[in-house]
Chain A
Amino acid sequence: MINDCKILKELPAGGQKTVHLAEHPTIGLVVIKKGAIKSFTSLERIKREVELLSELKSEYYPQQYHFNIDIKTKEFEIVEDYIEGSTLREAMKSFTTVEQIFQLLQYITNGLSIIWERNIVHRDLKPENIIIRKSGMPCIIDLGIARFLDLESLTKTISPMGPCTPIYAAPEQLTNNKNIIDHRTDFFGLGIISLELFLGVHPFDPTYLENHFSIVENILQNKFLLETKQVKRDERMAELASKTLQTQPFERFRNHQLLQSFIQKHLQK
């Protein structure tokens, strides 16, 4: 399939992989990802992500077209949908009012509930991993470190930190307490993203908290902002934070239905 594609340009990529924008004669614009398989664990993660995306078939996730492993070169290649739009990082300014944030949050949780229902935790929610389509609907990308709760954990128990983007991670990821990773871990990431949209700054940023800790240290100490000099506190955002940004998962929303009904309640007002 890759041979049928015409490479258009290289796209920014993280880690060891290369990402290209290409055009397929029948599908249209696609993304081609290639990279090295460094270990059994990385191979397993890639396989799980590919299998999941090929099953999901939802507008909230990119469609997968092709997956191949080259045993000789120990490389993988994936062809998937090119999602036209901007990352939430780039589109942050379009979501500043509480209503806009809750509307976006409703769409994102609708999308995530598809994987939560399958006992899968995304574990890497951040503005860079949410693409806002031209229609305004979000598309959730990069399930590369998703945790499949029904499958054996791929995370080494001895690692001091579990797989994550630290400044968007829940405390249990930062302390690699993998036994308590579940859907509520994603609620924490959503809490950070929502407050960051509202405040315009990362809610655990020491500059605005006026302390000398790092963002990660502030997450571990549960020190976060609900307002800045520019943005006044909003009770709806404060309530959302109180049920998503708690250190212990049992202090967060218990399930996505409760989170969704909370969002719905505030959207109706």
Chain B
Amino acid sequence: MKVYHQTGFRHNWNIDSFQQHVGDGLIYSPINIDADKLLHLDVSVKQTGFLDPQLYLLNEAKGNLPTYPYFPGNIKPDYATPDLDTSHLQLAQLCVDFQLQNSFEYIVIPTRYYADNPTSYFLQSSDYFVLPFCDYLKEKGIQKKILLSVIVKGIMLTDDERRNEALNWITGHMCIDGVYLIFEDNFTSKQIKDFDFLLNALMFIKVLKDNGMEVHLGYNNTEAILYSIAMPDSVSIGSYENLRSFGIKRFQDLENGPMRGPRARLYSSQLFQWMDYQYIDAMSKLVEHYENYFDESEYRPLMFTPDYNWQFQKPEPYKHYFYVFNRQIKSLPVSQGDRMETIKAQIKKALSLFRTIEESVLLDEDSDGSHLPTWFNVINAFQKEVSK
């Protein structure tokens, strides 16, 4: 299973990390990087990754999107949905050509985002994106693998009819090799703790894998470990929270950085948890060998010095996460059965570690591993489904 860097603001951190052999490639974000700059990046940081074309809102000129040749506003000012009728072929050609110019590993077909998908959503997506992209690639004789972007909305996981409609549509295109799959995250908590959501997400991935498709998961937080039991082809690592959870806000507001300064956190692979640094501070005073709860990396010595000024603009906690999480994913067993058993055992161990920590330091619900019992139950439920 591969690990891709989900890039955004501070994509340099990801590129640095990738160049230090962390992760298998990068997913580029047009709103955050100028098209010309991307074009001039060394091919070595592009050839194992792909571009997220980000036409979610079609013609919203956010960030650097207007610098891209396929950006609809560059085809026609005030470009709107009806214009797709006449220019979808041109848009497809420009988008494919740009991706080819950059020598990415995959060609990605974009998708639109709606708060509530219209009834014609899938038909329109086929007509405006899938078919023109596939036809153009066939016409050009391109052999690269094609990924279809899909945003999975909550209702596609909970409502059978909507789920079947989505799965029939995704699997019905013979020309595509796989999907760039994004689960929309409307939860308010930092970790997803909804049993049905997580189990249905796993089943969704499983169906696509059963269909012989490549499944690349975007915008993953630590759930990537849980999703790994459905055997996707890749998961993602991202720095800020808006790269570890998909919300359309990221494409609506001009974000040259996080909108507000999040509290600095550090990821622990033993705890499956991003831990608020204030608790780490408390642990340093109250928990014996507190540092053993956190992973080794080249960034750790610096972060654990007393005068380290924890704040979200510092690269160390994020580069540490890339390194640690990538290693954690890569250490998972290859076989599905072993992977499920291993993660369950690790969850039990993490819960036991939390019990020890909370003998001295009480944690809030965003740091206390309270998602782990749900994870454990979801794995059991998925195991039961797989064995049917």
Contacts and interface: CB of A to CB of B under 8 A. Distances in A.
Interface of A: 116-117, 150, 179-180, 182-184, 248-251, 254-256, 258
A150 B131 contact: yes
A251 B167 CA distance: 9
A180 B161 CA distance: 12
A23 B46 CA distance: 65
Contact of A254 (B122, B123, B213): B213
Q: How large is the interface on B (under 10, 10 to 19, 20 to 34, 35 or more residues)?
A: 10 to 19
Contacts of A180: 165, 168-169, 172
B333 interface: no
B211 interface: yes
Contacts of A117: 174
B174 A255 contact: yes
Given A150-B131, A179-B122, A179-B123, A254 B168 contact: no
B262 interface: no
Nearest to A116: B174
B75 interface: no
Closest 9 A/B residue pairs (Cβ): A250-B167, A254-B211, A250-B171, A180-B168, A255-B174, A182-B172, A249-B168, A250-B168, A254-B171
A16 to B, nearest CB: 32
Nearest to B167: A250
Given A150-B131, A179-B122, A179-B123, A249 B172 contact: yes
B207 interface: yes
B208 to A, nearest CB: 9
A8 B165 CA distance: 51
B212 interface: yes
Given A116-B174, A256-B174, 18 more contacts: A150-B131, A179-B123, A180-B168, A180-B169, A180-B172, A182-B172, A183-B174, A184-B172, A248-B164, A248-B167, A249-B171, A250-B211, A251-B207, A254-B171, A254-B174, A254-B212, A254-B213, A258-B212
Most buried by A among B164, B170, B172, B211: B172
Nearest to B211: A254
A248 B172 CA distance: 11
A177 B20 CA distance: 51
B174 A250 contact: no
A109 to B, nearest CB: 14
Contacts of A256: 174
Contacts of A251: 207
A249 B212 CA distance: 14
Interface in B202-219: 207, 211-213
Contacts of A258: 212
Most buried by A among B131, B170, B212: B212
Most buried by B among A117, A150, A183, A255: A255
Interface in B157-187: 164-165, 167-172, 174
13 contacts: A179-B165, A180-B168, A180-B169, A180-B172, A184-B172, A248-B164, A248-B167, A248-B168, A249-B171, A250-B164, A250-B207, A254-B171, A258-B212
B364 to A, nearest CB: 41
A251 B168 CA distance: 9
A183 B164 CA distance: 17
A117 B175 CA distance: 10
Contacts of B131: 150
B332 to A, nearest CB: 26
B252 to A, nearest CB: 30
Contacts of A179: 122-123, 165
